Structure formats: C-alpha cells, structure tokens
Structure 1
Amino acid sequence: MNLDTATEENISFMIEAIKTKLRMASGAAMQSSNFKLEQYEDIRDLYEVVASKNNFSISEVEALVSELGKLRQRN
C-alpha cells in the first residue's frame, strides 16, 4: 500500500495495523473515523514506529496508545 498520500483509506489501514500489532483490547474504541486527514503525518509516524518493531514492552504500548488517544481527542 502506498502511504505517501493522505487519504481516509490510508488512515484506516494504518489505524487497523496499529491496533492489530499492539493487540489493543479496546481497539473497537479506536476507529479510523475518529481521526482527521490533518493528522495524517502524526498517524503515519506512529504507524512506522509500530511497524518497525516486533515486540513492545508494556510501557511502550501504553505510550503509543496514549499518543493515539491524544490524536483522537483533538477532533
């Protein structure tokens, strides 16, 4: 998938990939529709961090989920 373009489809793909990789129990609360195109670069940055690692510590997961939550709350 080409993530160079800020689209709703790309945001949806990245949010779903983040939720899957982090095994988020509350993943249902993090829907891609909760994020705006203006946040694309921030979401992509988080996606790239998550995609680059195979394992995460509990504190890393908490920090990443917190960042997603902050982006979600800006809506």
Structure 2
Amino acid sequence: MAPAGSVQVLIHDEEDHCFGLWMLHDGRLVEVELPWTRRWHAPAPSSSEYPPSPGYLVRTDQGEPVPAQTPPHDRDPRPAW
C-alpha cells in the first residue's frame, strides 16, 4: 500500500486516451506534464457565472498543428480543481 503522500491520479477515457496525471507534491495536487502533450487554455469566460475551465491536453506528436496558446493574462485565473 502506498503512503498517502504519493497519491497519483490518472484520468483517461474508454479508449485509453490519457487526459492528465496529477500527484500530491509539497502538500498540493499538481499536474505532471506528459510527454508529447501540452495543456491548452481557452480565454476566460465573460463572467463568473460560468465554471472555470482547466483547458484540455493537445497531443503534439500527431503532425497536426497545435492551436496558439491563450496568453496567461487572458486566461481564467480561478482554479479549475
């Protein structure tokens, strides 16, 4: 049994496409970068009535163009998790 300080969460769908990996690090749940992926963030919603979005992972190894990243100052600053 793993100690509580080493919790890992891997999220994937039924087809085993990986959506993210999170671990407890220094007492916080943080996302671990996955090879050949990059998290893309949408621009912030126009009001706080919409829930915060964590963005989504984009694969970078498929030969498809990767969308331009939203600048940090235009992203929703509220934590999504």
TM-score normalised by length of structure 1:
0.29
Bigger CA radius of gyration: 2
Higher strand share: 2
Choose between structure 1 and 2 for higher RCO, CA contacts under 8 A separated by at least 6 residues: 1
